Amino acid sequence: MTPGEFRLRVRFGKTGRLRWLSHLEVVHALERLVRRAGLPCAITQGFHPHLKIAFGPALPVGTGGENEYFDVWLTRYTGAEEVLRTLREHAPDDLAPTAAGYVPDKLPSLTAALTIAEYDVELTGREIDHTQVQAALERTVSAREFTMVHKGKQKVFDLARAVPKDVRASDRGETTGVELAVRMGPEGSLRPDALIRAALAGAGLTPSVLRTTRRELFTEDPEGEWSRPL
């Protein structure tokens, strides 16, 4: 705990066309947002002084997020509602903060604490029927083991652990929606669109993924209860 510093947690969305930003671009944009808002930010000491700010797990280019988080350390206590209002005034609409609150400084980092992510994946494609999608996904998940190749590296996931909730496919008229939760950790994170593609390819279906959105990020307590970090 750094005396005189207040750890503020901010919830924000990466929505609309800004889902096409990379994680680094989101990070830079939020740092600029915080400076623009004129918050009394703590500055790290050292060779390259910079804002004391920390981000949650990265989202890939093209994936939106409805409830994402960052922590910023302030040197002066300012009401969270007021900070939120100031942040919103200075934010691009598609990257706007939606909630803010102080959290104890001793909490683990967002990347360590946030271990569950809920996704919504929208599929399009002829002859794609949500019951087939549901069946294919259930088959894949029950097979327990899933191998994903990302950037030339092979990763093996134990799906009983990596997919901690029942997958649900539904008919949305023009599209098929898939709701899917994944567990994230230091061993790597399962990309939901990769799992869905593989599952459907196994069933002879080749949909296109129209949109992937991370709906929620949760912490998980020792009893297995999920909760929002703010």
Partner 1 sequence: MTRADLWPLIEPLLDRIERPARYLDREWGARHAPDAEYRVALLYPDTYEIGQSNQAIGILYDLLGSLPGVAAERTYLPWKDLIGLMREHGVPLFTLESCAPVASFDLLGITLPYELSCSNILEALDLAGLPLHAADRDESHPLVVGGGPCAFNPEPVAVFFDAILLGEGEEAAAEIVAAHRTARAAGASRAEVLRALARIPGVYVPSLYEPVTRADGSFGGMRAIEGAPAVVEKRVVADLSAFRAPVEPVVPFMDVVHDRFAVEVLRGCTRGCRFCQAGMIYRPVRERSADEVVRDVLAGLACTGHAEASLTSLSSADHSRLEEILRRLRNRLEGTGTSISLPSLRVDAFSVAMARLIADGRKSGLTFAPEAGTQRLRDVINKNVTENDLLETVRLAFEAGWRRVKLYFMIGLPTETDDDVRGIGELVAEVLRVAREATPPSQRGGLKVGVSVSTFVPKSHTPFQWEPQLPAAEIARRQGVLRDAVPRKGVDLHWHDADVSFLEGVTARGGRELARVIERAWRDGARFDAWTEEFDLGIWLRALEAEGVDPASIANRERPLDEPLPWDHLSTGVSRRYLERERERAVAGATTPDCSFSGCTGCDACDELGVGIVLAGGERR
Interface positions with partner 1 (CB under 8 A)? 16-18, 20-22, 24-25, 28-29, 31-38, 41, 43-44, 47-51, 61-62, 90-94
* 152 dihedral zone (left: phi>0; alpha: psi -120 to 50; beta): left
206 CB-near residues (< 8 Å, 6+ apart): 125, 200
Instruction: Give me the least distance between CB of 76 and partner 1, in Å please.
Output: 13
CB of 135 to partner 1, least distance (A): 27
Nearer to partner 1, 29 or 80 (CB): 29
Q: Give me the least distance between CB of 24 and partner 1, in Å please.
A: 8
Min dist CB 1 to partner 1, Å, is 21
Question: Is 192 or 229 the residue whose CB approaches partner 1 more closely?
Answer: 192
Q: Which CB atom, from 78 or from 134, has the smaller least distance to partner 1?
A: 78
Is residue 223 left, alpha or beta, with left meaning phi > 0 and alpha meaning psi from -120 to 50? alpha
Using the Cα atoms of residue 128, residue 129, residue 134 and residue 135 in order, give the sign of their dihedral. Answer: negative
Is 228 in contact with 67 (CB distance < 8 Å)? yes
Rounded to the nearest whole angstrom, what is the least distance from the CB of residue 87 to partner 1 in the complex? Answer: 11
Q: 46: Cβ–Cβ under 8 A, 6 or more apart, which residues? A: none
Least distance CB 165 / partner 1 (angstroms)? 26
Q: How far apart are CA 34 and CA 8, in angstroms?
A: 12
Q: Closer CB to partner 1, residue 92 or residue 185?
A: 92
Burial 152-184 (b: 16+ CB within 10 A, else e): eeeeebebeebbbeebebeeeeebbbbbbbbbb
Identify which of residues 110 and 209 has a Cβ nearer to partner 1 in the complex: 209
* Of 140, 144, 175, 139, residue with least CA distance to 159: 144
- Closer by beta carbon to partner 1, 45 or else 154: 45
